[in-house]
Amino acid sequence: MSPQTTPSPRLDRARQLVQEKGLSKEDLVLLEEILQAGELDPLLDAQSGPPEPPGTRSLMELRRNLGLFLAFLGQFNPRRLGEARAAMGLAIEHGLARLGSQAKACHRELLQEPGTAPWIGQALDLVASLRAMALSAGSGDPLPLRRDWAAFLTDHGEDFREVALALSGLEGGEALAARLHSQLKTLNRNLRNAEGRSEDSLRKLADLLESATPLETRRKVEPLLLVEHVATNLRLSLRRPLEKGMDGGIHWPAVAQIHGSLQWLWNNLGWQLPRVEAKDLQRALPREVRKLLQQIKKEDPAAFRVLAKALGGHLAIMGLLEGLGPFTHATEEARYAAVAPFLVIEAELGRMAEHTYGPDLLTGLKPGPEAQRLRGLFRQAVLSQRQDQSTVRALLQQSLIAGDTDQLALGLDNLRTLLMTHQRNQVGDLVGVFSPALRQRLYPESVSLADEGDRLRQRLHRLYEALTPLQNQLQLHLELQDWPRLALGLAHAQQQASAFRRSPEFPLIRPGDREEADRLIQLLARTLDAPQDVRQALVEGTDLVAELLRFLELLLLRINARAPLIRHDLDIARGALELAQQLKAATGPERSRLAQKLLQTAKRLGVRDPQSLVLLKRWVRAERGQRDQLATLDPLASHLDRLGARLDAALG
């Protein structure tokens, strides 16, 4: 974007931030271009009216949570829930409750600002109570309303007197205080004698109190009261008390109504949820990285656009993650309310895999080693984003189905740590493509996928080494029917297995193996938890420990065998690629010899890479038919190149 283009309010905030930090004009232009090239449109935007400037920290947090909850509802599909229907209903219900409580806290904080008189908050509270009471009036029987009004006066009569006294001390407020006393008397008389329309008297009293408060304060408070009121009422509409069933009474068609109501509220408030804040962008790009990006922008604009788009996407996800957790000591409401933001992050991971790391984006790069490394990194990044997306979905489903809030908190904390580590690693890898030394200096803690695999393998090996002698002792105690020692041994085995399940390495296991490990560990815990037949439970627990040990043994065998196979396939792919490149320039008998050698070499890849075999057969048919061999040899060579880069990235 040229500097003459009219900047958006988001870029104005970026400019203000950069100027406050004392950065150069080149840095400002760089941040603006990253925001533009990264396609970092707001995750959620109001459909009418300009976005309002940011307010207090609690108000910004309310906007963020409302925006994330609304984005979650926009992609919500109850048919995908499966066994997690009841827990997802709790997630929606607690999400609405959290929005209501946050709006109430923002309202209180706003009324406690310096310069705001205490009576203003009292008056606005009375207005809200009177209007709520007016909604329940007019049912025909005045007795319940009379009782409610008597109780209300008992609790808040002093508030009325303090508001009237404060009004009397203001300029022109004596007449308003007199009208307030008169309206109170009229309302009392109507309720006592059952005369007139009591709901109209309540509304008039509320309007009179509201007119006494400053207009500027009302304008600030009204959106918060609206959010609080809408969230509370939508939470009530979500449940059908007479339909308690397997799903906990959640009325799923009401979710669409909740989405529509919150979308209307968002549009009328004119709020905005940016994908990445300017302050996050500036903080995540140190001076050395900005200098490197400036250099890349001058030398290779196409590479800069690709790099800016990828960096912007990763920083956006990191910004979403930084506002979450920790959940170990959080309330049940906070734990369930965090499910919605994590599902939004899961959708953003899929968006990045499709749009940020698409192969079409790499066209136009200058030939060179950086372009080659960037292509390999992009292919690996797509796999990593898809794997993280699958991990988020699987762990959330697994934690929600279990119905255990402690397990949910553990899963959310592990997910946050895992995703944050992966996003930081990928930012470091992008920088390392153009400056390995800078990556080592700025991101020394970045670990490759191979390092994560080694960490998981070591953690599994420690668990296996701990359970193997325990299993031998358990079998001996079982044969001797030494039940006390058998119980102590099983308790120790369960403790070891549960510690592994809570470890940050547990989410690194592939989904199928992770589900099986989780099933065995939970089954062991349920078997030993207050059984009716203690001896039978001890026997079953011993069998489960043996089954868990066999599972760990097979898993370690597969993991340990994977690295040599990857290295073997990498050597074959590189050799076949070299032969294919030589074949393009060869003629005569030398070409026939190289073609035969390429066939014998590349066909060994078909065991674990069927696509190589398909392309190889296509080339062989073209070779035998004396057709345009180059048209089939180029796709084979290109696939071998991509396969080699992918295998090399897997080895780290």
Which residues fall within 8 angstroms of residue 162, CB to CB, at 6 or more apart?
119, 122
Give the chain's mean pLDDT. Answer: 79
What DSSP line would sit under 610-627, residue for residue? HHHHHHHHHHHHHHHTTS
Helices (H) and strands (E) in the chain, counts: 25, 2
Say which residue the tokens 């809200």 belong to: 128
Confidence at residue 621, expressed as pLDDT on a 0 to 100 scale: 86
- Nearest Cα neighbor of 35 from 59, 54, 62, 13 is 13
The answer, yes or no, to whether the previous bond of 301 is cis (omega within 30 of 0) is: no
The whole-angstrom separation of Cα 388 and Cα 425 is: 13
The whole-angstrom separation of Cα 73 and Cα 7 is: 31
What does the radius of gyration of the chain's CA atoms come to, in whole angstroms? 33
The whole-angstrom separation of Cα 379 and Cα 643 is: 9
Confidence at residue 495, expressed as pLDDT on a 0 to 100 scale: 92
Confidence at residue 339, expressed as pLDDT on a 0 to 100 scale: 92
DSSP H helices in 503-628: 511-528, 534-585, 588-602, 610-624
pTM of the model: 0.69
What the block records as the tokens of 346 is: 């899961």
**pLDDT one-digit tens code per residue, 399-457:** 888 778 888 898 899 899 889 888 888 888 888 888 877 777 766 665 556 667 778 88
In angstroms, how far is the first alpha carbon of the chain from the final one? 37
The whole-angstrom separation of Cα 164 and Cα 212 is: 10
The b/e string for 488-502 (b: 16+ C-beta within 10 A; e otherwise) is ebbeebbebbeebbe
- Report the chain (652 residues): mean pLDDT per 10 consecutive residues: 44 45 56 61 56 65 88 79 73 89 83 74 77 63 72 80 81 79 80 71 81 78 80 75 52 80 83 72 75 82 83 85 85 91 91 79 76 79 85 85 85 89 85 78 63 80 90 90 92 92 85 87 90 91 92 82 76 89 84 87 80 85 76 84 77 60
The whole-angstrom separation of Cα 35 and Cα 78 is: 34
